[in-house]
Structure 1
C-alpha cells in the first residue's frame, strides 16, 4: 500500500513536488522550459505548473545529461531534436510520409 499522501505514478505534479523529487531548484526547471521545447508542463490559473509523468521523465533525463554526462545545454537540445526526428515526431516528415503513401495508393489504383 502507498504511503499516505503519496500520489499515483500518473498523477500531475506541481513544480515544488518535481523540485523535491529531483533535487533541482524551481528556477532551473522554469529555465529549462525556455530551452527545451519538449518540456511543456500544463499551466493553470495563476501560471501554476503541473508536470505530467512524461515531463518528469524528461526532467530526469535532461538532468542526467547535463549534470552527470557533461553535455552542454546546446548539446542536449541537439540530442533531443535528433531523437525526435528519428522517432518520427517531426510533423513535416509525418506529413510527407502521408503524402507519399496517398500518392502510391492513387498510382496503384490507376489514377
Structure 2
C-alpha cells in the first residue's frame, strides 16, 4: 500500500507504484503502450504520475494477467468490451433538462411532500 507519509488518494510516481506492487517500472511503461485506458499524467521530463483510478487499473491488469491467467490480448478485449458497455455521461444540458422534468413532475404531483 501507500507509504506511511502518503495519502491513499495521493498521486504515485512510477517508482512508488512499482515498489507498491512489486513490479518493474518497465512493465508499467509497457502496459501503458498496450492498454489505452492507462494514461497517467506526464509532467516535465516525462515523469509519470498515477492517479487513484490509474493505480486501481494497474492493480486490476496485474491481477488479470498474473493471477487469473489472462493474456495481454485477453485483458485488452475485456477492457475494451467494458468501455463499450459503460453508460455515456450525461452532458450538463441533459442534467438541466432532467432536473426541470423532475421538478415539473413533482409540482404536478403536489410538491412531493
Q: What TM-score do the two structures reach when normalised by structure 1?
A: 0.75
Instruction: Deviation per CA, 1:26-52: give whole Å up to 9, x if none.
Output: 000000000000000000000000000
Gap runs ≥5 in structure 1: 99-111
Q: 2:62 corresponds to which residue?
A: 63
Structure 1: distance between partners of 2:66 and 2:56: 15
Gap runs ≥5 in structure 2: 95-113
Q: For 1:60, what is the secondary structure of its paired residue? A: helix
Structure 2: distance between partners of 1:74 and 1:50: 25
Q: What pairs with 1:19-98 in structure 2 (closer than 5 Å)?
A: 19-88=18-87
- Note the C-alpha offset of 1:88: 2.6
Q: What TM-score do the two structures reach when normalised by structure 2?
A: 0.73
Q: For 1:40, what is the secondary structure of its paired residue? A: coil
- Note the C-alpha offset of 1:4: 8.1
Larger Rg: 2
**Aligned pair count?**
90
- CA RMSD, aligned part only? 2.1
